[in-house]
Structure formats: C-alpha cells, structure tokens
Amino acid sequence: MAFSPTALTFADAADVLQAGLQAIAGGETEIDLQHLQRFDSTAVVALLAWHRQAAGQGVPLRVANLPQGLESLAQVYGVASLIRH
C-alpha cells in the first residue's frame, strides 16, 4: 500500500517527512496524495526529499494524485518536473 499523508504543512512537516522517508527506506515506491487535504510549500520540499531518498536507493518513486495546487506551487519554484517522476 502506498504512503498516503493527509496533511503536509509546516506544522506537521517533520513527522510526515520522516514517515515518508521510513516508508521509502522500507521499500515503498509510491506516494499517493489522494487524501492530502492540507498542504503548503513545505510539501514541495518533502516531495523533493522523498525523491532524493528513492534515487539514493536506486528505485523510482511514483507520486499519484498530485493535487493541482501542489503542482502549481512546484511550478512556481521551478521543480514540477522533479516531483512528477
């Protein structure tokens, strides 16, 4: 089952980031954002960190159900292509 956070804001970033990194270290290859209800620019940083973790393990990371608003934030920061892989 894919890792699927419900919130990813500055307030919960440390815990959610760590949970995602642990999921990836445990072999998870998909982040499903279908249930993501609250997010801010911190979510972009987390997605980049999760991709970096997966790349370091030599595995691709799929991001499913990327919210349009989060994709727009990533475009503003110029990293949209990095988080869609």
pLDDT at 84 over 80: no
Contact 2, 36 (CB under 8 A): no
Residue with tokens 């440390």: 14
3-37: pLDDT as tens digits: 999 999 999 999 999 999 999 999 999 999 999 99
Assign a CATH topology to domain 7-83: Transcription Regulator spoIIAA (3.30.750)
pLDDT at 43: 96
Domain positions in the chain are 7-83
Give the containing element (helix H, strand E) for 34.
none
34-72: pLDDT as tens digits: 999 999 999 999 999 999 999 999 999 999 999 999 999
